[in-house]
Amino acid sequence: MIVVMKPGCPREFIDDVIKRIEDLGYHAHPIYGIERTVIGCVGNEDKTPLQSLENMPGVENAFPILKPYKLAGREFHVEPSQVDISGFKVGGEKLALIAGPCSVESREQVLEIADAVKAAGAQFLRGGAFKPRTSPYAFQGLGEKGLEMLVEARDRTGLRIVTEIVNAEDLPGMVEAKVDLLQIGARNCQNYALLDAVGRSGLPVLLKRGISTLISEYLMAAEYILQHENYKVILCERGIRTFETATRFTLDLNAVPIIKQNSHLPLLVDPSHGTGQWRLVEPMARAAIAAGADGVIVEVHPNPKFALSDGAQSLKPEKFERLVSEVRKIAIAMGRSL
């Protein structure tokens, strides 16, 4: 923690701050400058109380110099992690490819898509059974029935299944269904009660970044899961909210190299939600891999114009096939495979 005093602040204020730092169990190192004084606090920077120095008289500001996340950070775990999801190592040499409909709409739909994405090369099938919708009047998903359909699709194709959890009450059903990868969506990225529950469940988690979550906050959200010794956490950039209205969100690919530098966790990119437009999905999937992502998650629907949710951003199976073959070229250029 560095405490910056105001210019011309009286000596007694400085002495008060030094005393308080020492009371909190740190060593205070004042630097008496020409215009102002700055005080360094040396010690184990875990404790919240240091932040309170900011409120003392004469203090202009106080800021931490250590990263606040530990388990998610590179300092804890220097090498990139590989997270094993039912035998597939996310974060390894081979890119992860998750595909499927936004919502599970019917048994026929999900089986048809499962076959198609399997054929195109996906290792994971995504599909929402419980949907968080902005409107209480919109289609909210098929619930338990939808989950059963995903399980059937897994039995038939061997694809691992990825589905969103929106309510801790649904956890037992998810555990029973042996969901391979539990998705926490953008709106729940900082729903700490849910993060805690999911962390305790021990199930692998795909944690999506919130639409206005700072990268530092995002890694802290992962920390909520990791602290329960549930280390199967995969991150996913899916677009942030900015002033630009040409895309539904602004897919933030800068987050890819930034997160890779600061965290050991594997990182996917969701170009479907991130842009909201199917025409942008392939170019942004290519760009995600070129930026260093460990895979992509893509919405596929056999008939997007009849999709009950997010049709505008869904690819038809044949467009998805094309995407895979284009992304594969980039993967190879990056020394990876797909």
Query: Across-strand partners of 183?
Result: 164, 206
Cα–Cα distance measured from residue 3 to residue 40, given in angstroms and rounded to the nearest whole number = 6
Q: Which range, of 2-10, 105-113, 175-183, 317-325, touches its own copies by CB under 8 A?
A: 2-10
Site residues for its own copies, 204-223, by CB under 8 A, read: 210-212, 214-217, 220, 223
Cα–Cα distance measured from residue 233 to residue 84, given in angstroms and rounded to the nearest whole number = 10
Q: Which residues contact 131 (CB under 8 A, 6 or more apart)?
A: 102, 103, 139, 140, 141, 164, 166, 309
Site residues for its own copies, 35-94, by CB under 8 A, read: 35-36, 38, 40, 42-46, 48-49, 51-56, 60, 65-66, 68-69, 75
Q: Which range, of 84-92, 104-112, 229-237, 239-247, touches its own copies by CB under 8 A?
A: 239-247
| 227 is a contact residue toward its own copies (CB under 8 A) | yes
| 151 is a contact residue toward its own copies (CB under 8 A) | no
Site residues for its own copies, 248-267, by CB under 8 A, read: 250-258, 261
| 29 is a contact residue toward its own copies (CB under 8 A) | yes
Cα–Cα distance measured from residue 332 to residue 322, given in angstroms and rounded to the nearest whole number = 16
The dihedrals phi and psi of 275, each to the nearest 5 degrees, come to: -115, -30
Site residues for its own copies, 163-192, by CB under 8 A, read: 166-169, 187-188, 190-192
Question: Closest approach of Cβ 149 to its own copies, in Å?
Answer: 20
Question: How far, in Å, are 24, 201, 316 from residue 13 at the CA level?
Answer: 17, 49, 67
| 14 is a contact residue toward its own copies (CB under 8 A) | no
Question: Closest approach of Cβ 251 to its own copies, in Å?
Answer: 5
Q: Which range, of 87-95, 105-113, 120-128, 303-311, touches its own copies by CB under 8 A?
A: 303-311
Evaluated on CA atoms 318, 131, 254, 235, the torsion sign reads negative
Sole binder of its own copies in the list 82, 92, 139, 230 (CB under 8 A): 139
| 25 is a contact residue toward its own copies (CB under 8 A) | no
Q: Give start and end residues of each alpha helix (H) in the chain.
A: 11-23, 107-120, 144-157, 171-176, 192-201, 215-226, 255-262, 271-275, 278-291, 317-333
Question: Closest approach of Cβ 285 to its own copies, in Å?
Answer: 9
Question: Which CB, 94 or 133, lies closer to its own copies?
Answer: 133
Contact 270, 313 (CB under 8 A): no
| 307 is a contact residue toward its own copies (CB under 8 A) | yes
Question: Closest approach of Cβ 144 to its own copies, in Å?
Answer: 15
Question: Which CB, 81 or 314, lies closer to its own copies?
Answer: 314
Token readout for 135 is 């409107």
Letter string b/e over residues 303-321, b meaning 16 or more CB atoms within 10 A of that residue's CB = ebeebbbbbbbbbbbebbb
The dihedrals phi and psi of 150, each to the nearest 5 degrees, come to: -65, -40
Q: Which range, of 82-90, 114-122, 173-181, 308-316, touches its own copies by CB under 8 A?
A: 308-316
Sole binder of its own copies in the list 10, 33, 158, 202 (CB under 8 A): 33
